């Protein structure tokens, strides 16, 4: 049997210049630079590498380095010694320019012309407004900064969401990008796929023989996926958010990706194409579970004002900065889907997400059917005082964040003279099993782009299939709210109605 030595991660091997377009934004400071720094201190970045920030603001190399050193100290997951920060920021350069100005790209090409300082493999990270994506990619190509696919030197382009704002614009954006780049050069980021716990859904399902046989319509009653956040419109996000809302911002990408991973068929192998093919099949089979009207399957909400735990007043969505006071954008959405394939036909899938909710949690609960015969009394106890309750189904919970882990709820005999069954939890938690902190999603995803591995990135047809699922909601917004909900709650009450005909309810309420 082959023996594994230390499980050191492997270094990305090909020297690279990483150019961040829109480098003065928040993403660079909070996520990209701390993630690259973490890979640097673990010896995972290639040798040599260079980072170039491209933005309009008035920095030079020295002032940009000072700024990013501060970002590292503030946001780094790993200890940031002075020495490692100095060595890292020495690789950073600044290129002042407007991303919609062709001349700025000619100057960039000139600045990158010394291959000993700037390796010719290039990763362009588009951290810019979506309306600028196509123009930036075109100008990169026209300036001769994009190598042909399959050649000795490579060019890859990373694109942040949103990929369009509906099916039609997503199609247009894909067509525009594919005019200048090959699909293999485009890395569309969905940062949920970079989370350890999200990748573990596939390992859990397909590395164990005991769960997969019961993951289907015969045994599963329904599946619910929640991504709740306590934040509102902090850090000036209002402008972007009001244009998009919860369905476009969270459902179309992160929640549907979770849905794919928990319901897809086992791929034939672990190649990027095999995994993405299976995900696309699920998206193509997913539909809103509408019986008579769209409101049977979709609930939208907006948070009202209220008071926080400390008595502090919390602003309602319509009072937030950069929000249109008459906005009908939703900050909460819940929907009921069905998947029309043999494995899942008839199993409702409920998705829910919102801002200013009761707690921050992302979780997937697979709720199984109750046993066909109830032999035992089910009880719910506080100390020795027990109430008889309805039978509790088994539930498997993937706790994506925080308190990452996987939990199974099951009935067990309560010790004592009577034969009664109580609901208990078997759990696996990351923190109880491994001592190391989990890598940040962006660390993994950036390394994958350097290695050219697109498994955890969304393919063009996958993006379009995601939009196809939510398009009926976008077409019928007016018929579905938004209702309001108090901050610190679990969203609008009507979300409970999505459980019509089912035994269950939201596991967090």
Contacts of 366 (CB under 8 A, 6+ apart): 215, 220, 223, 262, 395, 396, 397, 398
Which residues, 440 to 469, sit near ligand BG6 by CB under 6 A?
none
User: Which lies closer to ligand BG6 via its Cβ, residue 362 or residue 394?
Assistant: 362
> Exposed, middle or buried, 305 (CB in 10 Å: 0-12/13-18/19+)?
middle
The residue among 176 and 229 lying less far from ligand BG6, judged by its C-beta, is 229
- Runs of H (alpha helix) within 164-271: 167-180, 196-206, 238-246, 256-263
Residue 143 · residue 106 · CB < 8 Å = yes
Decide whether 11 or 315 has the Cβ nearer to ligand BG6: 315
Instruction: Specify the DSSP element, H or E, that contains 272.
Output: helix 272-285
If binding is defined by CB under 6 A, does position 243 make contact with ligand BG6? no
Distance of CA 341 to the CA centre of its chain: 25
Q: Does 330 bind ligand BG6 (CB under 6 A)?
A: no
Counted residue by residue, the chain has a size of: 509
Residues near 285 by Cβ (< 8 Å), separated by ≥ 6?
A: 339, 340, 341, 344
State the binding string over 350-379 for ligand BG6 (x if CB under 6 A, else -). Answer: ------------x-----------------
Comparing CB distances to ligand BG6, the nearer of 251 and 275 is 251
Q: How far is the CB of 388 from ligand BG6 (least distance, A)?
A: 39
Determine, following the binding rule CB under 6 A, whether residue 196 of this chain makes contact with ligand BG6.
no
134 in contact with ligand BG6 (CB under 6 A): no
Q: Closest approach of Cβ 399 to ligand BG6, in Å? A: 13
441: left (phi over 0), alpha (psi -120 to 50) or beta: alpha
Q: Which of 212, 229, 296, 461 binds ligand BG6 (CB under 6 A)?
A: 229
Which residue number has the CB closest to ligand BG6? Answer: 249
Angle between helices 167-180 and 460-475 (to 10 degrees): 160
Minimum distance, C-beta of residue 413 to ligand BG6, in the bound complex (Å)? 38
Residues near ligand BG6 (CB under 6 A), total? 3
Is residue 249 near ligand BG6 by the rule CB under 6 A?
yes
Cβ 391 to ligand BG6, closest distance in Å?
A: 34
Q: Enumerate the active-site residues.
A: 254
Q: What angle do CA 476, 481, 483 make, to 5 degrees?
A: 165
CB of 360 vs ligand BG6, minimal distance in Å: 7
C-beta of 316 vs 354, nearer to ligand BG6: 354
Give the footprint of ligand BG6 on this chain (CB under 6 A): 229, 249, 362
């Amino acid at each position: 049997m082959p023996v594994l030595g230390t499980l050191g991660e492997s270094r990305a091997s090909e020297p690279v210049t990483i150019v961040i377009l829109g480098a003065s934004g928040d993403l660079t400071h909070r996520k990209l630079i701390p993630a690259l720094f973490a890979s640097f201190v673990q010896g995972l970045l290639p040798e040599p590498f260079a980072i170039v920030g491209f933005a309009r603001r008035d920095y030079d190399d020295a002032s940009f380095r000072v700024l990013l050193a501060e970002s590292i100290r503030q946001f780094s997951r790993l200890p940031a010694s002075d020495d490692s920060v100095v060595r890292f920021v020495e690789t950073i350069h600044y290129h002042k320019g407007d991303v919609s100005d062709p001349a700025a790209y000619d100057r960039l090409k000139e600045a990158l012309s010394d291959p000993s300082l700037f390796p010719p493999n290039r990763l362009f990270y588009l951290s810019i407004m979506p309306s600028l994506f196509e123009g930036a990619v075109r100008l990169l190509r026209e300036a001769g900064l994009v190598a042909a696919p399959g050649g000795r030197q490579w060019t890859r382009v990373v694109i942040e969401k949103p990929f369009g704002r509906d099916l039609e614009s997503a199609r247009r954006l894909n067509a525009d990008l594919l005019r200048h780049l090959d699909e293999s050069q485009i890395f569309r980021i969905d940062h949920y796929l970079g989370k350890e716990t999200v990748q573990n859904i596939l390992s859990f399902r397909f590395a164990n023989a005991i769960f997969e046989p019961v993951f289907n319509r015969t045994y599963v009653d329904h599946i619910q996926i929640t991504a709740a956040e306590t934040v509102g419109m902090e850090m000036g996000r209002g402008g972007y958010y009001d244009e998009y809302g919860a369905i476009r911002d969270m459902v179309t990408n992160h929640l549907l990706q979770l849905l794919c991973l928990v319901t897809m068929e086992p791929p034939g192998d672990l190649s990027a194409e095999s995994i993405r093919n299976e995900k696309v099949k699920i998206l193509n089979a997913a539909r809103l579970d509408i019986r008579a009207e769209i409101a049977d399957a979709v609930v939208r909400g907006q948070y009202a004002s209220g008071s926080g735990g400390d008595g502090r007043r919390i602003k309602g969505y319509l009072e937030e900065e950069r929000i249109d006071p008459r906005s009908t954008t939703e900050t909460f959405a819940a929907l009921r889907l069905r998947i029309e394939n043999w494995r899942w036909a008839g199993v409702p899938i409920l998705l829910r997400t919102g801002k200013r909710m009761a707690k921050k949690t992302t979780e997937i609960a697979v709720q199984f059917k109750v046993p066909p015969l109830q032999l035992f009394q089910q009880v719910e106890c506080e100390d020795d005082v027990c109430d008889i309750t309805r039978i509790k189904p088994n539930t498997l919970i993937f706790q994506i964040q925080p308190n990452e882990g996987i939990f199974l709820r099951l009935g067990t005999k309560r010790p004592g003279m009577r034969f009664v069954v109580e609901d208990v939890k078997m759990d696996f938690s990351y923190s109880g099993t491994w001592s190391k902190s989990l890598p940040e999603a962006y660390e993994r995803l950036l390394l994958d782009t350097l290695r050219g591995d697109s498994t955890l990135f969304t393919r063009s047809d996958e993006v379009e299939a995601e939009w196809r699922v939510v398009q009926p909601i976008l077409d019928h917004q007016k018929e579905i709210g938004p209702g309001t909900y108090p901050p610190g709650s679990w969203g609008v009450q009507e979300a409970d109605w999505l459980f019509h005909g089912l035994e269950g309810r939201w596991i967090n309420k």
